[in-house]
Amino acid sequence: MQKLPIEDGQIWDVRVKPYEKKRSLEANRRLWALHKLAAEATGHSVDELHELMKAKFLPRAFVKVGGFEREVPSRSSKLSVKEFRDFMERVEEFYIAELSVFLGSED
């Protein structure tokens, strides 16, 4: 940090935190492939189904702007690897039970 080009009046915000592995692109593709199959089975869009599954399985967050406050589902992109795997498993279990939609093995 001693090598940062600091100029008069310039403010830096430097954060150091432990590395946290992000989910793989393959895991993300698998979730969206599940949504695509469910969309074909229901006539809903993949985005509608993704929002529905977030609302069903992810914790809620409160967003407040001025006097307006809304409860919204968490973002799946912010989940840890384990949280995303758990979310995807719950989505797949729901699609299998409710729609008989599944991808099969990841192998």
Query: Taking the chain (107 residues) in consecutive chunks of 10 residues, what is each chunk's mean pLDDT?
Result: 70 81 87 96 97 95 93 90 94 96 71
* 44 within domain boundaries: yes
Output the pLDDT for position 17: 84
**CB-based contacts of 88: which residues, under 8 Å, 6+ apart?**
27, 30, 31, 34
Output the pLDDT for position 1: 58
Output the pLDDT for position 47: 97
Output the pLDDT for position 54: 96
User: Which residues constitute the domain of residue 44?
Assistant: 25-99
d(CA 82, CA 90): 12
* 19 within domain boundaries: no
* 4 within domain boundaries: no
* 30 within domain boundaries: yes
Total domain count for the chain?
A: 1
* 20 within domain boundaries: no
Output the pLDDT for position 34: 96
* 50 within domain boundaries: yes
Asked whether the whole model's pTM tops 0.75, one would answer no
Output the pLDDT for position 9: 75
* 104 within domain boundaries: no
Greatest Cα-to-Cα distance within the chain, rounded to the nearest angstrom: 63
Output the pLDDT for position 24: 87
The structure tokens 């592995």 sit at: 21
